Amino acid sequence: MPLETAGNIAELVVTNPTAGDPAGSTDNHLKLIKAALKGSFKSFSGEANVTLSETEINALPGAISSIANKLGSYVLPHLEQKGSIKPWPTNYAAIPAGWQLADGTNDTPDLRGVAVIGANGSTFQDGMTYGAATATTSESGAHNHGGTKGHALTVGEMPPHDHGGATVWDSTKNEGSSIGPDYDPSDKDGREVSIQSQGGGQEHSHDINDDGKHSHTVSTMQPSMALSWIIKTGEPKSSEIATAITDAMKAAGLN
């Protein structure tokens, strides 16, 4: 069969040469194998002292992925420049080396109890604080609704009620009411029933007090979570970065 072609190891066909190929083509197959090896390891210019076993080589992809996941948390804090500021959960993790609280000490800005807003050189000056957690309403435009209003109830406005009664004795009079079991207008028994009036029909009133001018204090704080602002106080150091890389490798299980 014709000689195969290959520029790297992956292109070699393991079943070639076939049993029917002439022995004279052996040198061509050997040359092809060497060409494929050199094509796969182009950067090799001398002896490579590779001591890894096949198990270690096969584990490399997982190890590389593991250390890559650790490098961010171990190394990045050492790469940030002096003066970098970021929120930090101090109740969850210790402040990294080279950082400190932005609490006004050691020439740091005091960011305790405040949020950060972008400075624009005019309305918001760099390093100044603005705003408040509460606001108080103004007393200007104060007015009142005080006063007194009287009103006498009409018959239709009256609630259900009753009236007191009285029996008057006068021997010269006939019975003066149909109230009673023995009513007889011609019967001069001297008893007369009357209904007495209640109330005086006068107006009553309700006073509405005047509170005068006053103000109210209300909260203007948005829903928030308290974290600590920390600031980078030192320049990146190569020794710290090297230590961080070593720590990341240990955390990834690579000693």
Q: Where are the beta strands (DSSP E) in 40-106?
A: 85-88, 99-101
How far apart (Å, rounded) are the C-alpha atoms in residues 47 and 32? 21
The per-residue pLDDT for 213 is 78
For 112-134, write each residue's pLDDT tens digit: 998 888 899 899 998 898 888 88
pLDDT at 24 over 70: no
- What is the residue extent of each domain of the chain? 1-49, 67-126+227-251
Question: Mean of the pLDDT values across residues 94-123?
Answer: 90
The per-residue pLDDT for 209 is 73
The per-residue pLDDT for 120 is 92
Q: Which of 161, 167, 169, 162 is nearest to 194 (CA)?
A: 167
Q: Are 119 and 125 in contact (CB under 8 A)?
A: yes
Question: Mean of the pLDDT values across residues 171-187?
Answer: 53
The per-residue pLDDT for 166 is 61
Tokens of 114: 């405040």
The per-residue pLDDT for 14 is 76
Round the CA-based radius of gyration of the chain to a whole number and report it.
Answer: 51
Cα torsion at 125, 128, 131, 132 (round to 10°)?
Answer: 180
Task: Give the range among 31-40, 57-66, 82-91 with minimum mean pLDDT.
Answer: 57-66
Cα-to-chain-centroid distance, residue 45: 58
For 40-55, write each residue's pLDDT tens digit: 888 887 787 888 888 8
